[in-house]
Structure 1
Amino acid sequence: PGTPMPSPGAGAVGLPAEPPRTQTPSREAEADFYCVKWITWKGERTPIIMQSENGPCPLLAIMNILFLQWKASGVKLPPQKEVITAEELMAHLGDCILSTQPREPSEGLQLNFQQNINDTMTVLPKLSTGLDVNVRFTGVSDFEYTPECIVFDLLNVPLYHGWLVDPQSPEVVQAVGKLSYNQLVEKIITCKQASDSSLVSEGLVAEQFLESTASQLTYHGLCELTAAVKEGELSVFFRNNHFSTMIKHKGHLYLLVTDQGFLQEERVVWESLHNVDGDSCFCDTDFHLSHALGKEGAAAAPPDHRLQQRQVDQDYMIALSLQQQQGQDPSALSDLELARQLQQEEYQQQQQQQQQQRQQQGRAQPGGRPAGERRQRQKPDLDCTLL
């Protein structure tokens, strides 16, 4: 989990949000030191900073980007370094921010840069305790602009989220509009107290949206995110009050694994982000599927419906990848989502047929594959796609 962060509207009207947490002095002391994991990244030995239980995830997410793109940022560590302090990280970050000064600035640019630096230095301490960001549900780059955002702007680090309203749900679009999370929570409270039944209804629709998307990632958001992030781009992904380092590789999104429990797992570097349910897989530094370690319970065969859901996710991502290769407009993604829904319905029908046939025959069809079930696509372990 990320560091305790002022969650936008956390706890208001019983909406899904991480409860505020407090750290004991002992944990604060522990959080001053972070383990360094060395990986081979693009042929070079590269450090990534691992996160303790309540580590400052905004600081680590940004610093890990700077380490991964050290050729551009100039941020490096001594090759034998195994532990780093928060103060050292902040010093590296400060140096990197100061290096962004325009080379031949005009007087106006210089004044603007100096003001940005002053604003950033005020915000920097918050990177160690948690940033307060407020998402808007209209786009993956849409946040209420706060002083905290200046850090990402100065370092040219994109900040994304995937908590979007599906445009094919007009009632929800109407209820949520262009409001931020904080504004939407306020609207829900106001609507609940209104005498106008239409306002009460709109408030309930908005509340249902927040409850049904408690994971803070929707399939429409995942679609838009996949389309918006550039190939090879390193960025910060915000979800559930947590900031992660994200990259796009061969059309798929991956999050950097920084949990300290994986410090000694050399083959676990990236984690796929291909559905909203957290059902992901681990990859090594070259994005090859890591067979050495899986999620808890991965060794056990999942139920049929989980296998079918994975097949739906795979079909969906393949279609999305093909669409990107063909250069189609991202606005066509809504059609892709509709196709995914139809695919889901098809699998549900197949599951019902399969159950009926099993009841009639008293056992499964011979040959190892239940009747009505599709043959799984065989793909090489080039990308981390769950079958």
Structure 2
Amino acid sequence: MSTSNNTQLDHSKVKFPIKIIHWSLDYSGDDDSKLATPILLQEKNGPCPLIALINTLLLKAEEQIRHNTRNEIKITSIEEKKLIGVLEFKNFLMNQYNISTNIDLSTLLSHLGDLLLIYVEESGYHYEVDKLLANLPLLHTGLSVDPNLLTGDFTPNDIATTLFKLFDLKLKHGWVINQIDNENIEWNSDQQQTSSPTSSPKIDNYAHVVDLFNKLQTFDQIQDFLLDSSPSVEDNGVVDTLDHFQDKRLVQKWLDLNKTQLTQIGLNRLNFNLLKGEFIVFFRNNHFNTLFKKDEQEFYILLTDASFTSKSSKIIWQSLNSVSGNDDLFFTGDFLPILDIDQDLPPHDETHGSDYLLSKQLQEEEDQRMAKEMQASYNKPKPKEQPPVTKSSDSKEEKKKKKKKLGCVIT
């Protein structure tokens, strides 16, 4: 058991690189007209909620001020107090960048705690402040989240949703099942193997898997269902072990075909639910990112890999245009596409391009690895062809221990 002093010592040893990005929505080549915003970068760990929260908060405030100034919009005293708090935090990070180009976790959490108190005071809600402050370190070590695979939202009252809501930030994902059209062309590719003369016709019926998801809805409920060895009971009281087994195969099949935690209907929902010029926290591949909707069907992810620490790097955004990622491009701070990686390199730098491409490849491999780990909780052990009719003796508490929560994984 760690004491508070040891925890403080550990926090002081964790460092986050700071990068100043210059960006504009006006495609301006003049640096003086661009916004200069400090952002936190990740190192060996993925883009966890702390990085995403702070970066999204800073960028959202910059865009809000720009929009209000340009359109001569007056804001309330509550909004003004929050913006002043964020701008003071921004100035602190700018000064910290000039001193050492990085910031330790302890200092970061302390200033974020001060900002949290401002938001709590102005929120109008009754929050347990001590509990919120105590949970702030979870933004670094990892928050458990429970995506709703029907809506693109999350369980409303868990600590992750509460913290982001408190800072007036939306938390969304695009891992949503299409309830009308099957987006997976591979769905029927293994029908020969999965069907048998004695199997129920619903074994590859996409409409039935939609019904199952409507009943289960969230990822945690789906995991409970996949771990539950108890057979289903029909309306007439008859226990149907085979149907229960086939239902589990259907649910697992959809998850297997959508391991990247993004679907086309999920992207469409994001476009429908977000406003033009809106910054949100976006969850995908067990990572939290800053997502910006610049225009209709035009999304950008803020790049926070430590390989972008170099001042010479012009790569700031990556587009999010497709589920496969094949159409995604890198962009400058002005949202101009970088079609050639060499375009972003200084003349004397011959290694940065290869280092960056290696970093990108490693990140993609990490995303694939984490997606596979997510499946492991229900892929192993595989259910037998004819599971027993008797109910499992496992208690609910034991099943909870087996569940693997979605969240930011620290390596």
TM-score by length of 1: 0.62
CA contact (8 A) 2:292 2:299 kept: yes
Residue of structure 1 equivalent to 2:299: 253
Q: In the alignment, what sits opposite 2:53?
A: 62
Matched-pair contact (CA < 8 Å) for 2:47–2:287: no
SS of the residue corresponding to residue 38 of structure 2 reads strand
Q: Which has the higher contact order (CA 8 A, sep 6+)?
A: 2
Distance change >3 Å, CA 191–CA 92, structure 1 → 2: same
Match of residue 47 from structure 1: 38
Residues 227 and 241 of structure 1: CA distance in aligned 2, closer, same or farther (over 3 Å) = same
* 1:67-120 superposed Cα distances (whole Å, 9 cap, x missing partner): 2225532221235241111122212211221112445x9xxx5xx43x342331
Query: Paired residue for 2:114?
Result: 95
Structure 1 residues 89, 41: closer, same or farther in 2, change over 3 A?
Answer: farther
Q: 1:9 is matched with which residue?
A: none
The corresponding residue for 2:208 is 171
Question: TM-score, normalised to structure 2's length?
Answer: 0.59
SS at match of 1:143: coil
- CA–CA distance in structure 2, aligned partners of residues 216 and 63 of structure 1: 23
CA distance in 1, matches of 2:242, 2:156: 30
Indicate conservation of the 8 Å contact 2:154/2:161, yes or no.
Answer: no
1:90, 1:226 → 2: CA distance?
33
Partner of 1:186: 224
CA drift of 1:192 comes to 7.7
Aligned residues: 266
Q: Percent identity?
A: 28
Deviations 1:325-362 (A, max 9, x none): xxxxxxxxxxxxxxxxxxxxxxxxxxxxxxxxxxxxxx
Per the alignment, residue 248 of structure 2 pairs with 203
Unmatched tracts of structure 1, length 5 or more:
1-27, 300-387
Alignment counterpart, residue 219 of structure 1, candidates 244, 264, 277: 264
User: Residue deviations 1:116-154, cap 9 Å, x none?
Assistant: 423311320101101100111111223353123211111
**Aligned partner letter, 2:306:** Q
Query: Please, which of 335, 338, 363 is the counterpart of residue 290 of structure 1?
Result: 338
Equivalence map 1:293-332=2 (5 Å): 293=341
Any idea what the Cα deviations from partners look like across 1:268-304, whole Å, max 9, x if unmatched? 00111111123321101111102352898x99xxxxx
Structure 2 CA distance for aligned equivalents of residues 56 and 258 of structure 1: 7
Where does the alignment leave 5 or more consecutive residues of structure 2 unmatched?
1-9, 25-33, 66-82, 181-205, 233-239, 343-352, 358-411
4+ residue runs over 6 A deviation: 28-31
1:34 aligns with 2:16: yes
User: Residues of 2 paired with 1:29 and 1:246: CA distance?
Assistant: 27
- Pair 1:116–1:255, CA change in 2 (3 A): farther
Alignment counterpart, residue 150 of structure 1, candidates 162, 179, 185:
162
SS at match of 2:94: coil
Local SS of the residue matching 2:137: helix
User: Among 150, 153, 156, which residue is 1:141 paired with?
Assistant: 153
* Change in 2 beyond 3 A, CA 1:281/1:175: same
CA distance in 2, matches of 1:143, 1:253: 24
In 2, the alpha carbon distance for the partners of 1:285 and 1:269 equals 5
| Contact 2:231/2:244 (<8 A) preserved | no
Hey, what does 1:244 align to over in structure 2? 289
Deviation at residue 44 of structure 1 after TM alignment:
2.6
Q: Counterpart of 1:263? A: 309
